[in-house]
C-alpha cells in the first residue's frame, strides 16, 4: 500500500464541510507519518477528473453527510474501480436515511422510538394532534448528519418552526416520540464492538453546537459509567445495528439509555468524525489502538464492495 497514491477525500458540499476537512487533515497527517503517499483532495464536481489526473489508486473517504456518507461517492469509486475505505454503497445509503435505517432496525427487532414520517408535501398545516403520540417530540430531517436541523419540540407553538427548519434540508421529515435518556455511543471496528462512551452535552441534546462549538463544555466520559450488564447490552446493540445495515470498517452507533435501564437505538454513522479528539479515536485509544494505528487499519481495509 505504501507504493500506491492514496487520495484523502474531504470537504464536500454540505453542512459538515468544515468537520470533514478537520477529519481529512488529521488522517492525512497520521498516515504520512507512517510513510504513506497521501494526496489531499477537497471534493468538488470535478472529482472524477482529479482522481484520474492524480492517479489515485486508493481513496480514503473522510467525507461526512450528504454526497459523501450516503453512497454517492462510494458509487462513483465503484464505477472507477478505485478501492475505498468504509462501508459500501448500499450500507452507506441505508445508514444515511433515518427512515429506511429505522425500518431495517425494526425488521431486526432492535429497540427504536415511535415515529411518524411526514413528506415535504404534507407539511403545510401539520399539527401535533395528527401524531399517534403526544408532545414532546424530536423533529429530524431524514437525510442529514451531525444532528443538523434537529429540534426538540415541547409545545405546540414550537412545532411549525421546527418543521420549517427541517424542511429546508434533505429528505422527508421524521417526527419521533421524545425519549429521555443518557447519550451513549458505541464504536464498532471491523465487525467488533470496541467500547462505549457517554456524552454529557453542553446543550439540551447532542446537537451540532454541542458537538463542535461547546468550547469544552460538552463532556465525554470514557469508559461510560455503566454497570457491566449495561455495557454488555450497549456493545451488543451497537454491533447488531452495524450488522443490520451491512456496514464495513468503522461506525459509531448512537443510543439513549432510558431511566428504566433500557436502550433505544438512534442511528449508525458510517463515517464518524476522525480527529484525535473525536469519539471513535477516544474509544479506540481506550482499547490500545492509537490514532495512527486506527487510520492505518481503516486504510488497509479499503476495497471495492459492489
Catalytic positions are 16, 146, 212, 252, 254, 267, 269, 273
Nearest to 56 by CA among 83, 35, 31: 83
What's the grid cell of residue 56? 489515485
Contact (CB, 8 A) for 278 and 272: yes
Whole-number Å distance between alpha carbons of 300 and 283: 20
Q: Is 111 exposed, middle or buried (0-12, 13-18, 19+ CB in 10 A)?
A: middle
Strands (E) across the chain are located at 5-11, 37-43, 58-61, 115-118, 137-141, 151-153, 173-177, 182-189, 192-200, 219-221, 250-257, 263-269
* Residue 28: alpha-carbon gap to chain centroid: 20
Amino acid at each position: 500500500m505504501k507504493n500506491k497514491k492514496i487520495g484523502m477525500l474531504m470537504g464536500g458540499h454540505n453542512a459538515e464541510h468544515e468537520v470533514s476537512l478537520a477529519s481529512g487533515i488529521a488522517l492525512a497527517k497520521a498516515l504520512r507519518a507512517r510513510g504513506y503517499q497521501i494526496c489531499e483532495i477537497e471534493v468538488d464536481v470535478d472529482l472524477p477528473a482529479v482522481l484520474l489526473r492524480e492517479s489515485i489508486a486508493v481513496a480514503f473517504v473522510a467525507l461526512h453527510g450528504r454526497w459523501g456518507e450516503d453512497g454517492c461517492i462510494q458509487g462513483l469509486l465503484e464505477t472507477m474501480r478505485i478501492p475505498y475505505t468504509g462501508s459500501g454503497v448500499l450500507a452507506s445509503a441505508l445508514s444515511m436515511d433515518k427512515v429506511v435505517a429505522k425500518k431495517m432496525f425494526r425488521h431486526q427487532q432492535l429497540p427504536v422510538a415511535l415515529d411518524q414520517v411526514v413528506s415535504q408535501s404534507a407539511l403545510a398545516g401539520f399539527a401535533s394532534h395528527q401524531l399517534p403520540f403526544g408532545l414532546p417530540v424530536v423533529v429530524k430531517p431524514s437525510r442529514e448528519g451531525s444532528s443538523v436541523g434537529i429540534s426538540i419540540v415541547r409545545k405546540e407553538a414550537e412545532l411549525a418552526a421546527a418543521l420549517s427548519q427541517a424542511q429546508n434540508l434533505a429528505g422527508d421529515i421524521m417526527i419521533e416520540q421524545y425519549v429521555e435518556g443518557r447519550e451513549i455511543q458505541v464504536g464498532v471496528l471491523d465487525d467488533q464492538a470496541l467500547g462505549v462512551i457517554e456524552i454529557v452535552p453542553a446543550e439540551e441534546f447532542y446537537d451540532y453546537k454541542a458537538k463542535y462549538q461547546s468550547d469544552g463544555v460538552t463532556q465525554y466520559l470514557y469508559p461510560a459509567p455503566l454497570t457491566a450488564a449495561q455495557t454488555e447490552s450497549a456493545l451488543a446493540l451497537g454491533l447488531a445495528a452495524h450488522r443490520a445495515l451491512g456496514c464495513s470498517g468503522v461506525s459509531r452507533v448512537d443510543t439513549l439509555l432510558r431511566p428504566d435501564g433500557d436502550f433505544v437505538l438512534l442511528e449508525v454513522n458510517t463515517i464518524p468524525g476522525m480527529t484525535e479528539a473525536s469519539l471513535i479515536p477516544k474509544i479506540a485509544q481506550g482499547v490500545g489502538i492509537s490514532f495512527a494505528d486506527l487510520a492505518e487499519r481503516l486504510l488497509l481495509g479499503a476495497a471495492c464492495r459492489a
